[in-house]
Amino acid sequence: MDGKKIGIIIVVFTVVIFLVACIVTFKGKNLLAVEAGAQQEVGQKIELEVNSEKSDIRLPVWEPSGQYVDLDKLILVNKQNPVGKDFIPKDLVRPAYRAQNRNPDDQYLTREAADALDKLACDALGEGHEIVVTTAYRSYNLQNYLYNNYVKKDGKELADKYSAQPGKSEHQTGLAVDVSSPSVNYKLVKEYGNTTEGKWLAENSWKYGFIIRYLEGQEDVTGYTYEPWHLRYVGQEAATVIKDKGITLEEYLNK
């Protein structure tokens, strides 16, 4: 084979190698582009799914948190038994089942009460009832702000029937909690007592150590109008007696 033919073969071989390399590079770039597009699409899908999630509650695995010694759960705070401005319960935590349209800073309970409420809410949800915290612990200053606004709105005489003066609110103990449900748009209204969630609470809250603190017909003893949403943690022993006898916390403690 002469030199001219060898040169032609080398040129042809070089051209073939170049074309193959171009094809591989082109396909590789396309493959990377496809993969990048797929990843972007998946990322956008995940982001959309997260952003479109509108769950109002979390579903934790409930576990008891231990022993509690910081606060007497049978402490009585009412119009005749106030606490001081500096009274702040220890060991405040936020329950897992909370209304998302409320201030999270107002949703704390003592740890024992929070654990009991999470167990209550978890069991209620298992039976098809969504029950969540709207407000719980309130400082003296916050109660003072709320009470004064109610007085401006409705006058002192009427405000005293449904709102506690600062220092006289159970909410300052971290043992009281206002709950609600989607059936009443998470509002605190007397109609809540007629909902399936409100009825479930009235029938079952004592099993978890809670009482409906301000029942209808007990206004002369408690000093406040009917509030089917207002729970007070007293522990299972006291809650059982109060439920069975149909009495108030005041009457239970007096006996």
Residue 44 lies in a domain: yes
Residue 82 lies in a domain: no
Residue 244 lies in a domain: yes
pLDDT digits (tens, 9 = 90+) for 25-78: 444 434 333 333 333 333 332 222 222 233 333 333 344 444 433 578 999 999
Q: Does the active-site annotation cover 227?
A: yes
* 31-35, 141-145, 242-246: least confidently modelled range: 31-35
**Integer Cα distance of 235 and 253 in angstroms:** 13
Structure tokens at 174: 């971290």
97 and 41, same structural domain? Answer: no
**Integer Cα distance of 39 and 208 in angstroms:** 48
- pLDDT-derived band at 13 (thresholds 50, 70, 90) equals low
pLDDT at 162: 96
User: Does the pLDDT of residue 22 top 80, yes or no?
Assistant: no
pLDDT at 71: 72
Query: Alpha carbon of 173 to those of 5, 22, 121, 156: distances in Å?
Result: 101, 76, 21, 24
220 and 100, same structural domain? Answer: yes
User: Does the pLDDT of residue 200 top 80, yes or no?
Assistant: yes
23 and 148, same structural domain? Answer: no
pLDDT at 255: 79
Determine the residue type at 125: L
Q: What is the count of structural domains for the chain?
A: 2
Range of the domain at 192: 92-254
pLDDT at 12: 53
When computed from its CA atoms, the radius of gyration of the chain, rounded to whole angstroms, is 32
User: Does the pLDDT of residue 254 top 70, yes or no?
Assistant: yes
Catalytic residue of the set 112, 170, 197, 227: 227
> Buried b / exposed e across 76-85, counting CB within 10 Å, b at 16+?
ebbeeebbee
104 and 212, same structural domain? Answer: yes
When the pLDDT of each residue in the chain is averaged and rounded to a whole number, the result is 81
Distance of CA 122 to the CA centre of its chain: 11
Q: Which domain CATH number covers 203?
A: 3.30.1380.10
* 84-93, 129-138, 197-206: least confidently modelled range: 84-93
110 and 48, same structural domain? Answer: no
pTM as predicted: 0.73
